[in-house]
Amino acid sequence: MNPKQYPGESLSDKKTRTKKIIHALKKEYPDSRCSLNFSNPFELSVATILSAQCTDKRVNKVTGDLFDKYPTPEDYASVNIRELEEDIRSTGFYRNKAKSIKGFATAVIDEFDGQVPQSLDELTDLPGVGRKTANVILGVAYEIPGLVVDTHVKRISRLLGLTTETQPEKIEYDLQQLVPKEDWTQWAHLIIDHGRAVCKARSPRCGECVLFEYCPSGVIQEE
């Protein structure tokens, strides 16, 4: 990455470039949305916890049965943790995830009457919930703007020269200065779709990229 390819780019210029990036991505991925299946905020919370180091496709396969078996927070709080581990084993890191989900369910019941809270501070105080998961819940379940920084967002935001930070919280702060608040939630969906389709980590298809003219890292290999 070489963000210095735009020498002297002001914050205002970078904001303008970011808006052009968003416009191009919305045009390219008009149906971009969260790919996790859920029917309420608690289910989304469980699915997001399970999605760590796991594909959304695999998570959706697991939660198809999981949500039928455990329809309420009370079901997760009362289940034997070994049984829950087996139910989610295929998502990887299943012991830690089972502990987080059971702890999350218990805390939601004890502290919030079984309702997933709607503030970043309250969410990040719950077991298994970091800023990434909290922002997913806020943005997708409650339509409260939240800027999710996952591996795709981290990598591609850096490639685009929108941040030089490596820590997710600092990347989130940088993006908050550039991405209009009404697009905070959608930003992650668009970037994730673009990362999966074109801007792949090992073999980016720069020659087909709708962001090529806005990207300081784009390279087209000569034949």
The amino acid occupying position 184 is: W
- 103 in the same domain as 46: yes
The residue written with tokens 């210095």 in the block is 4
Q: Which of 56, 75, 150, 183 is catalytic?
A: 150
What pLDDT, on the 0 to 100 scale, is given for residue 180? 97
What pLDDT, on the 0 to 100 scale, is given for residue 53? 92
Domain range for 118 is 41-141
**Percentages of the chain per state (helix, strand, coil), in multiples of 5:** 65, 0, 35
For residues 179 and 193, the answer to whether their CB atoms sit within 8 Å is no
For residues 161 and 1, the answer to whether their CB atoms sit within 8 Å is yes
Residue 219 covered by a domain: no
**Could you tell me how far CA 6 lies from the centroid of its own chain?**
28
What pLDDT, on the 0 to 100 scale, is given for residue 221? 60
Q: Which of 132, 154, 174, 193 is catalytic?
A: 132
Residue 21 tokens, joined: 């990036």
- 115 in the same domain as 25: no
d(CA 192, CA 200): 10
For residues 192 and 146, the answer to whether their CB atoms sit within 8 Å is no
Residue 15, classified by CB atoms within 10 Å of its CB into exposed (0-12), middle (13-18) or buried (19+), is: middle
- 130 in the same domain as 86: yes
CATH (domain of 167): 1.10.1670.10
Angle made by CA atoms 13, 196, 192, in degrees to the nearest 5:
50
Picking from 122, 141, 160, the residue at the C-terminal end of a domain is 141
Residue 221 covered by a domain: no
- 182 in the same domain as 151: yes
* 69 is an active site residue: no
The amino acid occupying position 16 is: T
- Please report, in tens digits, the pLDDT of each residue of the chain (223 residues total): 344 457 678 999 999 999 999 999 999 999 999 999 999 999 999 999 999 999 999 999 999 999 999 999 999 999 999 999 999 999 999 999 999 999 999 999 999 999 999 999 999 999 999 999 999 999 999 999 999 999 999 999 999 999 999 999 999 999 999 999 999 999 999 999 999 999 999 999 999 999 999 999 988 665 4
For residues 130 and 100, the answer to whether their CB atoms sit within 8 Å is no
Q: What are phi and psi of 204, to 5 degrees?
A: -65, 140
d(CA 103, CA 186): 29
Distances (CA, A) of 205 to 163, 198, 219: 21, 5, 9
Give Cβ neighbours of residue 35 (< 8 Å, ≥ 6 apart). 56, 57, 60
* 68 is an active site residue: no
CATH (domain of 66): 1.10.340.30
Residue 17 covered by a domain: yes
Residue 5 tokens, joined: 């390819």
d(CA 86, CA 48): 18
For residues 218 and 28, the answer to whether their CB atoms sit within 8 Å is no
- 157 in the same domain as 102: no
